[in-house]
Structure 1
Amino acid sequence: MIEKAVQQIMLGTVCKTEAQTKETLRCIKQAGYDGIELNGFMIRPTPFIVRMLTKFAGMPVGKGGNYHWKELLKEAGLHAVSLHEDLGSVRKDPDAVIREANEFQTKHIVITGMYRFDYSDKAAVCKLASDLNHAATELKKSGIQLSYHNHNCEFRKVEPGLTAYELLIRETDPDLVGFEFDSYWPTEAGVSAPDVMKRLGTRMKLFHINDRGTRITGPSMTPILTSDSMELGDGNMDLDALLTQAKAVGVDAVILETHKNWIDKSPLRSLERSAEYLKRCSF
């Protein structure tokens, strides 16, 4: 069965206290989701500067690092489908990452992209692929799948006709490194998300789903509108085709993630609206 989940980054503004977090998780379960994708920096105490940087980026993380997430999820009847970590932490102390994955009973560790990294540098991308292979080897010994999550930077060219993402696919070991494919970002970069999904095939272990469009109604001030994230089914992405491909390759989970532009500025209203679309899909 393909699980339906919500990315924890959506929940910072509605997890300001442990009591509010319990209510938020209850709403997620009631909406029809099976689990949460956790972030390492949101389930452990985080330095003040990290909280400020994520807040300025439009993704406040709150103070969830002080909560007992394992107990909170269990009480809500939700499962940790995966855990986002940074590659440096995995390479520095793979045993600690493995212990945390086992604690949350998940087999998926996801690398969420690299900060201050030049995705147009072919040598750097090849080195990244090598590092992913090495980290994945360590995790696989304990039955943990390492996957890489894309944004739009990976669709920069490292040479004519070759993107950094294609190079990562090519240079990582198919038996070790999987992918958590986020279809919003290649679409934003002008790349065909369905084509990339077909290229990944069964290496796509998890699917980050979002929609893209605009809420503006009535006359436009100019002939140009700016697109943004939307609730599933309210935008213009071919979600039916994307989900069909995700199901065809047997992904373990479809994970909703939006950072802003929510209905009534409420992530809960937004994920409930998206849940209505997911309920119409056969998993």
Structure 2
Amino acid sequence: MVRKAVQQFQIRSVVGTEQQAQDTLKAIKDAGYDGIELCGFLVRPLPKAAIEMAKASSIELESSAELDWKTLIKQSGLEVVGLHEDLDMILMLTASIVADAKAYGTDTIIVTGMRSFDFSDKQAVIDLAERLNQAGRMLEKEGLRLLYHNHNCELRKVDAEKTAFQLLIEQTDPNYVNFEFDSYWPTEAGYDALALMNSLGSRMKLYHINDRGFRVNGPSASIIESGSMELGYGNMNLEALVTTAKSYGVQAVILESHTNWVDDSPIQSLQLSAKFMYEHIK
């Protein structure tokens, strides 16, 4: 069975207190999802050095990190399908991250992408691949696996023929590094998300899903800006993407709508998306 999950980042604005978090997790479960994907910086009070590193990278630290997420998740009945972490944190705080993953009952750590990184620099991307290989080897020794989550920055060209994403696929060792594919960002960048998914094949272990379209009522200008949408309410060929992901044995499909939620509510948004998830992901 392919698990249906929600990324914690989507609900970050509605988990400020323990009661809010309990209600939000219940809403996810009641909507038919069976899993959640957590972000390390949203569930763990960080040491001072990590806080300074986050600030330097313009990463906002949320108050929900002070909550007892291990108890909240256990009470919710949701399964943790993975834990998003920063690559530097994985390499610096390996033992702590491994302990957290095991406490949450997940064997999957996902690198959430790179901030302030030049994906047009070929040697820098090759070096990044080796750092990913190093982190993957460290986690493999602890019984965990490492995945890399793409956005659109990896689709910058490192030369006339190749994107940074293609180079990362080539330079990472599938024994230690695989992928959580996000189809929204390649679509946003004008790439064929289905072709990129096929290029990953069975190295795609998890799939991040979102739709892209317009939330406009009534007349509009001749050009309007598109954004994140509930599943089935946008213009992406999600049915083909889901079918392909399942054909490669993807283990979970994770909803992450970034913003632009219906009625500005991440909960209503995930509830609307649940219909598509229920119909197409079994």
Q: TM-score range by the shorter chain?
A: over 0.9
Q: CA deviation at 1:217?
A: 3.2
- Tell me, which stretches of 5 or more residues in structure 2 are unaligned? none
* 264-273 or 41-50, larger mean C-alpha shift: 41-50
Equivalent residue, structure 2, for 1:58: none
Equivalent residue, structure 1, for 2:202: 202
Moved segments of 4+, more than 6 Å: none
Q: Check conservation: 1:15, 1:62, Cα contact below 8 A.
A: no
Q: Deviations over 1:144-183 (max 9, x none)?
A: 1100001100000000010000000000011211101000
2:255 is aligned with 1:256: yes
Task: Return the TM-score normalized by structure 1.
Answer: 0.94
- Tell me, which stretches of 5 or more residues in structure 1 are unaligned? 56-60
Task: Give me the whole-angstrom Cα distance separating, in 1, the residues matched to 2:130 and 2:9.
Answer: 28
The amino acid that maps onto 2:225 is T
Task: Give me the whole-angstrom Cα distance separating, in 1, the residues matched to 2:209 and 2:227.
Answer: 14
Q: CA deviation at 1:219?
A: 2.1
Equivalent residue, structure 2, for 1:148: 148
* Aligned counterparts, 1:262-273, within 5 A: 262-273=261-272
Equivalent residue, structure 2, for 1:189: 189
The amino acid that maps onto 1:228 is G
* Aligned counterparts, 1:60-99, within 5 A: 62-99=62-99
Task: Give me the whole-angstrom Cα distance separating, in 1, the residues matched to 2:24 and 2:95.
Answer: 31
Q: How many residues align?
A: 277
> What secondary structure does 2:116 align onto?
coil
Over aligned residue pairs, what C-alpha RMSD do you find?
1.7
Equivalent residue, structure 2, for 1:217: 217
Q: CA deviation at 1:216?
A: 1.2
The amino acid that maps onto 1:157 is K
Q: CA deviation at 1:68?
A: 1.1
The amino acid that maps onto 2:260 is N
Q: Check conservation: 1:45, 1:63, Cα contact below 8 A.
A: no
Q: Check conservation: 2:41, 2:62, Cα contact below 8 A.
A: no
Task: Give me the whole-angstrom Cα distance separating, in 1, the residues matched to 2:205 and 2:43.
Answer: 23
> What secondary structure does 1:280 align onto?
helix
Q: CA deviation at 1:45?
A: 2.1
* 1:66/1:140 CA distance change after superposition, 3 Å: same
Equivalent residue, structure 1, for 2:278: 279
* Aligned counterparts, 1:1-283, within 5 A: 1-45=1-45, 47=51, 50=55, 53=58, 62-221=62-221, 223-283=222-282
The amino acid that maps onto 1:93 is L
* 235-244 or 252-261, larger mean C-alpha shift: 252-261
Task: Give me the whole-angstrom Cα distance separating, in 1, the residues matched to 2:58 and 2:78.
Answer: 29
> What secondary structure does 2:244 align onto?
helix
The amino acid that maps onto 1:115 is R
> What secondary structure does 1:6 align onto?
strand
Q: Deviations over 1:109-134 (max 9, x none)?
A: 00011111100000000000000011
Aligned-residue identity in percent: 51
* 37-46 or 103-112, larger mean C-alpha shift: 37-46
> What secondary structure does 1:25 align onto?
helix
Q: CA deviation at 1:67?
A: 1.0
Q: CA deviation at 1:98?
A: 1.2
Task: Give me the whole-angstrom Cα distance separating, in 2, the residues matched to 1:196 and 1:214.
Answer: 24
